[in-house]
Amino acid sequence: MNPFTYERAADPQTALELGARSGAKYLGGGTNLVDLMRETIEHPTALIDVTSLSCEIEETGDGCLRIGAGVRNTAVAADRRVRERYPMLSEAILAGASAQIRNMATVGGNLLQRTRCGYFYDDAAHCNKREPGTGCDAVDGFNRMHAIFGASAACVATHPSDMAVALAALDARVTVDGRNGSRDIPLVDFHVLPGETPHIETMLEAGELITAVTLPAGIAGRSCYRKVRDRASYAFALLSVAAVLEVRDGLVDDVRIALGGVAHKPWRANAAEAALKGGPATEAAFHAAAQAEFASARSLRDNAFKIELGRRVITDTLVKLTALQEIR
C-alpha cells in the first residue's frame, strides 16, 4: 500500500476543500476503496473521511425520502419508511455482501464501488479501466460475469451494486455538491457506459461529493428484487431484476424494471417497459416484453446464458408480482 494521509471532514464545505486537492479521495466505509489500495489498484495520497456527514434519512415536504450519502447500508435496509414504501430497496441491499460489510458500507460508497471484473483486479492483465490504453483481456478471456448490454471493445465489465439497481428502477436522484454548488443527477444517468473511456464510470466531476439519494413519492404497485448468483449468499449478481408493477383491471398501469449484472451501469429495461405499458398483464405479454428487451443484448464467449436467464427472470418476476396484486 502506498503512503497516504487521513483526515475526517467536519462539514461538507471542509470536505469539498480537502477533496479538491490532487490525489485526494473521499472515504466511506472503506470496504471497497481500502481493498483496492491494498491491491495498489487505487493509490490516493489523501483520504477524506466523510462518514460523519449526511447521516440522516429524512422526509421531504413533497413526500419524497432523502437518504444521506453517509447512511450505512444496514440502516437504509432497516428503516421503517424504506421497508414500507420501497421494500425492493431493502431487499436489494440485503441481497448484497455480508451483514458486517453492510454495517460499514455507506450509500455514497456503494454507488461508487468499482467493478468485480477479475482482470481489473489482476495487475498482470491488460485493463483499460485500471490503466487506460492498455487493452481489455476480458473481451477474449473468461467473461462469464461480464456485460451483455452497452459494452464496448474497450471494456465489458459490469457494475456490481445491488442497491443501485433498485434505485434505478425507483427513479431515484443523486445529489452531489461541488465547488460550483449542488446538482441533482437522475440515478439512471449517474453511471455511464464504457465507450472508449471505461476509467470514467460516472457523471461526477473531480472533487464532487455525493450528499444524498432521494426516492420519489407515490410509487404505486408491488415490487421485488430478484438476484441470481452462484451461491445463495455472499456473491455478486450474475443477473438481477428490480421490478415494480401496478396492474389495474388486468392491464399494466405502471411498470419499472432495472437489471443488474448485465452492463457497466444499472440497466433500465426501457424496451420491456414500453412493450408492457397499457397492455395485458399476462405471462405471454411479460415474455414478449422480456424478448424485446434482450433483442439488443450482445453476448461474449461465456455469457450467452444471461440472455435466456434474463428473459426468464423478468417474466417470472412479473408473473409473481401480478399474483401478489390479485390477493391484495
Taking the complex as a whole, the smallest distance from the CB of residue 45 to ligand FAD amounts, in Å, to 13
28 binding ligand FAD? (CB under 6 A): yes
Taking the complex as a whole, the smallest distance from the CB of residue 231 to ligand FAD amounts, in Å, to 10
The whole-angstrom separation of Cα 318 and Cα 243 is: 8
68 binding ligand FAD? (CB under 6 A): no
31 binding ligand FAD? (CB under 6 A): yes
Choose the stretch contacting ligand FAD; rule: CB under 6 A; options: 78-86, 160-168, 217-225, 263-271.
160-168
Exactly one of 9, 16, 33, 147 binds ligand FAD (CB under 6 A); that residue is 33
224 binding ligand FAD? (CB under 6 A): no
Exactly one of 90, 110, 303, 322 binds ligand FAD (CB under 6 A); that residue is 110
50 binding ligand FAD? (CB under 6 A): yes
97 binding ligand FAD? (CB under 6 A): yes
Other CB atoms within 10 A of residue 308 CB: 11
315 binding ligand FAD? (CB under 6 A): no
Closest CB to ligand FAD among residues 55, 319:
55
Closest CB to ligand FAD among residues 168, 252:
168
Exactly one of 96, 194, 221, 266 binds ligand FAD (CB under 6 A); that residue is 96
Site mask for ligand FAD (CB under 6 A), range 227-256, x = bound = ---------x--------------------
Cell of 196: 472508449
The SS3 call for residue 47 is strand
Q: CA separation (Å) from 13 to 17, 25, 143, 184? A: 6, 15, 42, 18
Strand order, beta sheet including 5-8? 5-8, 46-49, 24-27
Q: Which residue has the cell 490525489?
A: 23
32 binding ligand FAD? (CB under 6 A): yes
Distant-in-sequence, close-in-space partners of 305: CB < 8 Å, separation ≥ 6: none
Task: Tell me the three-class secondary structure of 180-239, residue by residue.
Answer: CEEEEEEHHHHECCCCCCCCCCECCCCCCEEEEEEECCCCCCEEEEEEECCCCCCCCCCE
Q: Which residue has the cell 473511456?
A: 197
The whole-angstrom separation of Cα 54 and Cα 57 is: 9
143 binding ligand FAD? (CB under 6 A): no
Other CB atoms within 10 A of residue 52 CB: 12
Question: Which 176-215 positions form the footprint of ligand FAD (CB under 6 A)?
Answer: 209-210
Q: To the nearest 10°, report the CA torsion of 215, 174, 59, 101.
A: 90
The whole-angstrom separation of Cα 75 and Cα 145 is: 29
Taking the complex as a whole, the smallest distance from the CB of residue 36 to ligand FAD amounts, in Å, to 8
Closest CB to ligand FAD among residues 91, 162:
162
- The strand pairing partners of 225, in sequence order, are 242
Taking the complex as a whole, the smallest distance from the CB of residue 156 to ligand FAD amounts, in Å, to 19
Taking the complex as a whole, the smallest distance from the CB of residue 102 to ligand FAD amounts, in Å, to 7
Taking the complex as a whole, the smallest distance from the CB of residue 226 to ligand FAD amounts, in Å, to 14
Note the residues at the interface with ligand FAD (CB under 6 A): 25-33, 50, 69, 96-97, 101, 104-106, 108-110, 112-113, 160-163, 209-210, 236
